[in-house]
Amino acid sequence: MKRIPVMLFGAGGVGQALLQQIVNGRSTTATRNNCQLDVICVADSKSYAWAADGLTDQQLQAIVSAKQQGQPVNAANPERPSDLQLLETAVTARPQNLILVDVTAAAGMEPLLDTALAQGHRVVLANKKPLAGPWATAQTYFHHLRLRHESTVGGGQPVIATLRYLLDVNDPIHEISGQLSGSLGYICSQLDGGTPFSEAIASAKALGYTEPDPRDDLGGQDVMRKILILGRMAGWPLEAADLKLESLYPAAMADLSVPDFMARLGELDETMGERVATAVTHQQVLRYVAHVSAEGGSVSLQALPAASPLANMKYISFRSALYDDEPLLIGGKGAGVHMTAAGVLGDILDLVRETTSE
């Protein structure tokens, strides 16, 4: 049985779910893929745990418990080496078949990823930021044979795999669109029922559907990164500036504390209420929709016919030469840490099958 060393950067919701899935899936992984995943390093922002032969399942479960209680990965490691030093240690101990997994939400991971790829190692990303940075630095990650990033768009649904398939069969992509945010989808559906914008946001936050600071969702940056990644995969070397982005809160509210922002949300109700009312008079509903094509794209609140299927589902749509008059649609749940982690695990095993040396 092949033993595959895995380094995990990030131990938040997705990282914890991934560790749990690796532990729970040991026998399936052995039977289906004839391999054992040795998690040799788990690092969060402040600490790390390490074992050259792989942390035991008990140790991995203890890490998950510690993180769930708000503690670091390893309270006994106050001096955390840099990401590059951790990679160097891992490469010295286990140079063959290493897979580095980035499930942080951090900016600035590129030097680590570039070094790993340049040394011939393999990389899996759920972190969108390296793929959505300036094209000059991001282009190296697109269609790289030793890099996978299924979970960056669609929360684990096979979105990237589908796009890769269309490109493989030489089916030129014309346009990609979709509703790419579960939290904004929820807020829009609340508006349909007449709930004021402020209440819809407050309830989404209370249910844990938004980031702790809802502006991280309402600003549309995360959706913009997703549609930019899809556009770049389709072959268009776009920059973020090529996408017109509509934020759902005004710039004047950007610097407020979270409690102040929440307290002043009511100021947005009248304008949003008018937009909802105009949509209703045309039998339409508001949805936060992303589009991209070779020329650029947009991420904005749009009025869609209330009865149309696309107004009523979370979806990603590919219009291509083969799927021209009737686009290829992927729809479904596509959200949450467990599905996202499953997408990461799928990527790890895909790399094991396709690129592992004997």
Tokens of 317: 């749509």
CB count in 10 Å sphere of residue 97: 21
* Cβ-based neighbour number of residue 145 at 10 Å: 10
Instruction: Based on the shown chain and the rule CB under 6 A, indicate whether residue 160 belongs to the binding site for ligand NAP.
Output: no
Sheet of strand 35-43: strand arrangement:
48-50, 35-43, 2-9, 99-102, 122-125, 147-148
Give the sheet arrangement for strand 315-320, strand by strand. 243-245, 296-305, 284-293, 173-178, 315-320, 328-331
Q: Is 45 in the site for ligand NAP (CB under 6 A)?
A: yes
Encode 13-34: b = buried (16+ Cβ within 10 Å), e = exposed: bbbbbbbbbbbebeeebeeebe
Nearer to ligand NAP, 193 or 212 (CB): 212
Give the one residue of 151, 181, 284, 300 binding ligand NAP; rule: CB under 6 A: 151
Verify binding: residue 42, ligand NAP, rule CB under 6 A: no
Tallying the residues shown for the chain, one arrives at: 358
Within residues 76-105, the interface with ligand NAP by CB under 6 A covers 83, 103-105
Can 226 be counted among the known catalytic residues?
A: yes
User: Looking only at residues 191 through 220 of this chain, which bind ligand NAP when binding is defined by CB under 6 A?
Assistant: none
Binding residue for ligand NAP (CB under 6 A) from 15, 54, 185, 231?
A: 15
Sign of CA dihedral 245, 249, 254, 257: negative
Q: CA–CA separation, 339 vs 358, rounded Å?
A: 31
The secondary structure element, H or E, covering residue 21 is helix 13-24
Among 30, 52, 93, 106, binds ligand NAP (CB under 6 A): 106
Nearer to ligand NAP, 8 or 303 (CB): 8
Query: Does residue number 71 form part of the binding site for ligand NAP (CB under 6 A)?
Result: no
Which residues on adjacent β-strands are paired with residue 300? 289
Does position 175 interact with ligand NAP (CB under 6 A)? The reply is no
Q: Which stretch binds ligand NAP (CB under 6 A): 37-45, 91-99, 298-306, 316-324?
A: 37-45
Please pick, from the candidates 32, 46, 282, 353, the single residue that binds ligand NAP as defined by CB under 6 A.
Answer: 46
HSE on the CB side for 127, CA within 13 Å?
26
The tokens describing 343, both together, are: 């997408």
By CB under 6 A, name the one of 5, 7, 10, 292 that touches ligand NAP: 10
From 226, 244, 314, 333, active-site residue: 226
Q: Which is nearer to ligand NAP, 43 or 303 (CB)?
A: 43
Please say which residue, 83 or 217, places its beta carbon nearer to ligand NAP.
83
Q: Work out whether 63 is an interface residue with ligand NAP (CB under 6 A).
A: no
Which residue's CB comes closest to ligand NAP? 12
> Which of positions 116-145 make contact with ligand NAP (CB under 6 A)?
126-128
Which of residues 11, 60, 224, 238 is near ligand NAP by CB under 6 A?
Answer: 11
Q: Pick from 44, 150, 175, 217 the residue near ligand NAP by CB under 6 A.
A: 44
Residue among 331, 339, 300 at smallest CA distance from 315: 331
- Under the binding rule (CB under 6 A), the answer on residue 347 touching ligand NAP is no
Residue 49 β-bridge partners? 42
Taking the least distance from each CB to ligand NAP, the nearer of 127 and 317 is: 127
The CA distance from 50 to 90, in Å, is 9
Among 14, 187, 342, 349, binds ligand NAP (CB under 6 A): 14
User: Distance between CA atoms of 321 and 329, rounded to whole angstroms?
Assistant: 14
The region that residue 76 occupies, defined by phi over 0 for left and psi between -120 and 50 for alpha, beta otherwise, is alpha
Task: Work out whether 290 is an interface residue with ligand NAP (CB under 6 A).
Answer: no
Q: Which is nearer to ligand NAP, 11 or 163 (CB)?
A: 11
* Binds ligand NAP (CB under 6 A): choice among 54, 155, 185, 220: 155
How many binding residues for ligand NAP (CB under 6 A)? Answer: 25
Element of type H or E holding 270: helix 269-281
- Contact residues: ligand NAP, CB under 6 A: 9-15, 43-46, 83, 103-106, 126-128, 151, 155, 335-337, 340
Q: Which residues are catalytic?
A: 226
